[in-house]
Structure formats: C-alpha cells, structure tokens
Chains A and B, each alone.
Chain A
Amino acid sequence: AQSVTQLDSQVPVFEEAPVELRCNYSSSVSVYLFWYVQYPNQGLQLLLKYLSGSTLVESINGFEAEFNKSQTSFHLRKPSVHISDTAEYFCAVSDPIGGAAGNKLTFGGGTRVLVKP
C-alpha cells in the first residue's frame, strides 16, 4: 500500500516570509501527485497537481511544487506568504483502482500553516 508522509504537522511563519511544506511518498510506480488546501470549516480544494511533463508545477496564487522522482518527494513552496494562506495543506498520491474508472487518493497527515503578522 502507498503511504504519504508530511514531516511537519505545523509550520508557523511570518507574513511575507517563504514557506516550504515537505511531502514524501512511498510508491515506486508512476503516480499522480497533488496538493490540496483546506481552509477552516471548509472542504479540500485542489491547489496544484503533477501528472506528467515539467517537474515544476505552479498554482495561480503563487505556490509551486517540484516532483523529484529519485527522492520520491513533492515539496510545496511559496516565496512570500499572506495571512490568507493560513490553512491546512494535504499532499496526496493517486492510484487508479484496479485500472477501472475512479481513483484512490492516499493523503498525508496534513501540515497546518499559521501565518503571523
């Protein structure tokens, strides 16, 4: 079974400082990789995804993540955070379920980012 490890459960950071959230996964086969964000009292929203192609993927709100196959990592970064980035961030790996339609996401434990003024 796949596993996803997010090493940091909480990351406090000052506004306008950079932040990096670490994610490592266990699969040795081709997978899809995702970062989801969960704001307080809301469901998960897709932040960005890696499916194939360029190993550096970006979101519309300044986040980026780099797929590193040799290190089985997909770390998330933002060079300058805002107060509004306070949320919980989940890394996930996708497997097709038996090759049929539908897919299985395995999530990491989440990293709670608290941006301080």
Chain B
Amino acid sequence: ETGVTQTPRHLVMGMTNKKSLKCEQHLGHNAMYWYKQSAKKPLELMFVYNFKEQTENNSVPSRFSPECPNSSHLFLHLHTLQPEDSALYLCASSLGTLRGEQFFGPGTRLTVL
C-alpha cells in the first residue's frame, strides 16, 4: 500500500462501546495528525504527533485518546462517545515543516448511535 491508509473506513458504534481507529503512513514522514470533519464545520485539528511525541492537543475531550507507537502508525481510541461525535475522522502525515504539505488518508466515517 502507498500513501496514508485508514481503517476501518466506516464505523457504527453505541455510546457505551470502545473502538479504535487506525492510521498508517508509508511515506517516511515524521509527523502525523488527526482531524475531525463535521458537516457544515471547518476541519478541526485534534492532535499532532511529531517523532511519536504529542505536540498539540486542540482541547479535545478525553473520550478521544490518541496513541502513536511509532512514526508510521497513529491510533485514535474512542470510548463513551456522544452522537455529536459522529463525523469523518481524517488522518494526515507530513515531513516536518518542509514545504508544509500534509498528505491525507481517506478517512473513517464514524456514526455514534
């Protein structure tokens, strides 16, 4: 596989469930990001990891828990979510600040019932 992959592509979960989203980048990048894309709202940056270290947490509720075991993998652990958390969750990666470009995965469409 090439680029940035995300699994699953679709996820339906109840408010009491625990699930995880996975992102993997095959580009040799060192920075990875989670974004939330809701209908009628701008993309919201959630978390940034650089060389496995979290460098930004954009006031995200604790029911979202990121994990970055290495520079190629990024997880988003979900628990006790709310219906308003339903959205498209996008992962991205970049090679530091060089050229400032981020590469995005296809996203996970999350529905919380």
Contacts and interface: CB of A to CB of B under 8 A. Distances in A.
A110 B51 CA distance: 30
Which label, helix, strand, loop or mixed, suits the secondary structure of the A interface? strand
B43 A90 contact: yes
Given A94-B100, A101-B30, A104-B48, 7 more contacts: A44-B90, A49-B100, A51-B99, A97-B56, A100-B55, A102-B50, A108-B42
B42 A97 contact: no
Contacts of A101: 30-31, 50-51, 96-97
Interface stretch (B12-20, B59-67, B73-81, B104-112): B104-112
A100 B56 CA distance: 12
Interface residues of A, number: 28
B42 A109 contact: yes
Interface residues of B, number: 29
10 contacts: A44-B90, A46-B101, A46-B103, A90-B43, A97-B48, A98-B55, A102-B48, A102-B56, A105-B43, A109-B41
